[in-house]
Amino acid sequence: MSAEEEHDPTVEDDVSDDDEHDDHGTHSKAEKKARKTMMKLGLKQLEDVQRVTLKKNKNVMFVINQPDVFHAPNSESYVIFGEAKVEDLAAQAAAVAAEAFKSEAPAAGAAAAVAEAEEEGEVDETGVEAKDIELVMTQANVSRAKAVTALKANPNDIVSAIMELTM
């Protein structure tokens, strides 16, 4: 081949039509060959497809964003090229529920803390050891007043006091 033939603009290179439509990144050699075969078989490329979803079952869905879709003109058959990602609908719903629960929990905790502060006041701690009070407070996650009240209701029985406060 001479130097003139290499740079002659009238000589067509063996470039597939897919390179014109290729705005989604690079494709492997096998994928380019498959696309070319689809065009030779008479499948038409659909241009305005933004997203393809395939439902596997009730909770799992395959999603292909920006796919290249080919359609057989005489049937309802489609060939789809693109990167498939799995979307688990159950996991997404659980995550949303967890976020809602987290946002409600601090608000409820703040209201409970205000109520505890109001009812706390000075409590008579005679006959109850300070270390027992601290232990019940940390284990049952309650105020000092509630811990003292529970220890007095269960004659200084730490286990029973904690069980009463947590059950």
CATH number 3.40.50.12780 is the correct assignment for the domain at 12-90:
no
pLDDT at 130: 83
d(CA 44, CA 4): 37
pLDDT at 50: 92
- R_g over Cα of the chain: 35
pLDDT along the chain (167 residues), means of 10: 42 41 67 88 89 85 90 89 84 79 60 49 74 85 85 84 83
Helical (H) or strand (E) element with 80: strand 78-81
Q: Are 63 and 72 in contact (CB under 8 A)?
A: no
Nearest partner of 123 among 155, 161, 162, 152, judged by Cα: 152
d(CA 132, CA 149): 12
Angle, CA 46 vertex, CA 44 and CA 48 arms, to 5°: 165
pLDDT at 26: 73
Report domain extents, the chain. 12-90, 121-167
Q: How much is the pTM?
A: 0.42
pLDDT at 39: 87
